[in-house]
Amino acid sequence: MEKKKKTEILYEKKDLEAIAKNQKLIIWFFISLSFVLILGGIVKIPELNVVFTVAQIAVFVPLLVQVFKIARNLKEKNDIIYAVALFLPIISLVVIAYLLSRSTKVLRAHGMKVGLLGAKE
């Protein structure tokens, strides 16, 4: 019995550049969102609740957009589902980890160096 190989997806240079850019942005937005959530949990000043809520929204919306963009650049069939899945608490971490892992594999397969904070220029 032969194992069937997945069909190789061809990426153009502009796709790879977009994947690298989106990967970096997702990582930074995720770090920022984590920071805002942790800080919001530590600081117990009621007057700042509105500030932390606005900050969470201001970071979450671009993260949502970048997840959609990277899924589209990776040529995922259900790119909108990945973005919608960010609204589910544990599933969002799985989605982000999957997309970052997949983007790292694609970038490395095409000869780009990828570090802890994304693709290197």
Q: What is the pTM of this model?
A: 0.86
What pLDDT does 1 receive? 53
What pLDDT does 121 receive? 66
Low-confidence ranges of the chain (pLDDT < 50): none
What pLDDT does 5 receive? 52
What pLDDT does 6 receive? 57
What pLDDT does 10 receive? 82
Residue type, 114: V
What pLDDT does 2 receive? 53
